[in-house]
């Protein structure tokens, strides 16, 4: 197959989950003999944070070879940010207008590469593609998050365009009925993210001089909510001086990062809580981790959580968080805390006090991730692509 992966979003140096999945997908499809093209947009020029295979064609719509660089409208960016606090729906409409000038370049790439199928990894990307009916290539739209979170503030036009998708992929079977509340659509398929076998085995039950609670995710208050973990650990720190918390993740939200730093200082945790930034060496992170804490508000199929579990690390999250509450089986591979700082602290404390439980939970966490082995996930994707292309041909015929 000739497969085009489209992600019209900042991509250069960006270490988000969607970018990670796209990189893994490009690697997997290439190894399986498919021709892969990646199209993204970023006013910065450079290379992706997550590597792509050398034989993948990579296009940045803002910096196409032999053409003048495209600068997105500063005026529209300003309008988008002014509107966003009042209406996320209208902000997304403005964001679409920002992207529309990129269409001619995208069309040239489609004409050049002639893909059999396009996999769109964000809703605005799908909206741009599907609003041009002259494009006959089938589009598979990926929903990378809980549909309630995606569509709660989604413009009607965006939902209307997504319904033109040849197929829509969701991350969990439970997300299909959620998506059906918003989209009059029938070709949904549930395929989770691939969880590779860990290159390192954690030993969370070992006796050590220093113990580590790890949290991984971009530093953002609305989604990842790292402040809740700091506040929960503050209730425990005095009684557990041999424990520390390491936060790994990009600091795109500078205002929130400053809030976290002030919170750490205010709780006098400078010697126990650390904002570590990004790293490409996650194996070393997992090797030192004794508990993985994940205080997210919502998730789709969190890579950081599942990779920690694959490494044999017990996990703690919130029972109210979609996806997290399906991956964590409370009392077996970790704990699901009720909402609030105190409940999170109690779940952490239960594991901090019990090395045997950490070891047992970590072992069960690793076993649970076998269902998401890459071979199974990429087989499912190949089947979806094949079925989608054939169904599209039959419909046209």
- For residue 323, the model assigns a pLDDT of 96
- For residue 396, the model assigns a pLDDT of 66
Whole-angstrom distance, CA of residue 160 vs CA of residue 154: 10
- For residue 336, the model assigns a pLDDT of 98
- Tens of pLDDT along the chain (397 residues)? 999 999 988 888 777 888 999 999 999 999 999 999 999 999 999 888 888 999 999 999 999 998 999 999 999 999 999 999 999 899 999 989 999 999 999 999 999 999 999 999 989 899 999 998 888 899 999 999 999 999 988 999 999 999 999 999 999 999 999 999 999 999 999 999 999 988 899 999 999 999 999 999 999 998 999 999 999 999 999 999 999 999 999 887 899 999 999 999 999 999 999 999 999 899 999 999 999 999 999 999 999 999 999 999 999 999 999 999 999 999 999 999 999 999 999 999 999 999 999 999 999 999 999 999 999 999 999 999 999 999 988 876 5
Three-state SS letters, 32-51: CCCEEEEEECCCCCCCECCC
DSSP category for residue 289: -
Prediction pTM value: 0.90
Phi-psi group of 225: left, alpha or beta (phi > 0 → left; psi -120 to 50 → alpha; rest → beta) = left
Whole-angstrom distance, CA of residue 300 vs CA of residue 322: 7
2-194+373-396 and 211-371 in the same fold:
yes
- For residue 15, the model assigns a pLDDT of 78
Its CATH class, for the domain covering 2-194+373-396, is alpha beta
Q: Which of 215, 225, 397, 232 has its CA nearest to residue 315?
A: 215
- For residue 384, the model assigns a pLDDT of 98
- For residue 133, the model assigns a pLDDT of 81
Mapped onto helix, strand or coil, the DSSP state of residue 146 is coil
CATH architecture under which domain 211-371 falls: 3-Layer(aba) Sandwich (3.40)
Q: Map out the domains of the chain as residue ranges.
A: 2-194+373-396, 211-371
Whole-angstrom distance, CA of residue 205 vs CA of residue 272: 20
DSSP letters spanning 73-129 = -HHHHHHHHHHTTT-HHHHHHHHHHHHGGGHHHHHHHHHHH--SEEEE-SHHHHHHH
């Amino acid at each position: 197959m000739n497969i085009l992966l489209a992600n019209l979003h900042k991509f250069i140096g960006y270490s988000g989950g969607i970018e990670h999945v796209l990189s893994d997908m490009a690697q997997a499809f290439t190894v399986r003999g498919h021709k892969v093209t990646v199209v993204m947009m970023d006013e910065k020029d450079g290379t992706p944070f997550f590597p792509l295979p050398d034989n993948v064609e990579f296009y940045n719509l803002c910096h196409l070879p032999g053409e003048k660089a495209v600068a997105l409208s500063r005026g529209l960016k300003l309008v988008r940010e002014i509107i966003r606090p009042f209406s996320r729906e209208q902000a997304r409409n403005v964001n679409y207008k920002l992207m529309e000038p990129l269409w001619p370049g995208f069309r040239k790439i489609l004409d050049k590469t002639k893909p059999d199928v396009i996999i769109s990894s964000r809703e605005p990307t799908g909206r741009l593609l599907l609003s041009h009916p002259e494009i006959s290539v089938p589009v598979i739209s990926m929903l990378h998050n809980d549909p309630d979170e995606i569509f709660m503030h989604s413009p009607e036009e965006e939902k209307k365009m997504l319904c033109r998708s040849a197929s829509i992929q969701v991350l969990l079977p439970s997300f299909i009925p959620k998506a059906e509340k918003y989209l009059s659509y029938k070709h949904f398929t549930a395929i989770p993210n691939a969880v590779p076998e860990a290159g390192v085995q954690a030993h969370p039950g070992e006796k050590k001089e220093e113990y580590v609670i790890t949290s991984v995710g971009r530093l953002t208050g609305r989604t990842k909510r790292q402040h809740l973990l700091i506040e929960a650990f503050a209730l425990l720190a005095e009684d557990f001086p041999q424990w520390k918390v390491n936060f790994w993740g990009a600091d795109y939200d500078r205002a929130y990062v400053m809030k976290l730093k002030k919170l750490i200082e205010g709780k006098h945790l400078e010697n126990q809580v650390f904002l570590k930034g990004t790293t490409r060496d996650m194996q070393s992170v997992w090797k030192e981790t004794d508990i993985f804490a994940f205080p997210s508000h919502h998730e789709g199929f969190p890579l950081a959580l599942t990779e920690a579990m694959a490494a044999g690390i017990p996990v703690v999250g919130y029972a109210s968080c979609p996806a997290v509450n399906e991956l964590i089986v409370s009392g077996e591979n970790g704990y699901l805390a009720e909402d609030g700082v105190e409940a999170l602290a109690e779940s952490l404390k239960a594991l901090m006090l019990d090395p045997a439980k950490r070891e047992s939970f970590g072992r069960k966490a690793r076993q649970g991730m076998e269902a998401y082995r890459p071979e199974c996930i990429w087989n499912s994707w190949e089947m979806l692509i094949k079925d989608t292309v054939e169904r599209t041909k039959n419909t046209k015929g």
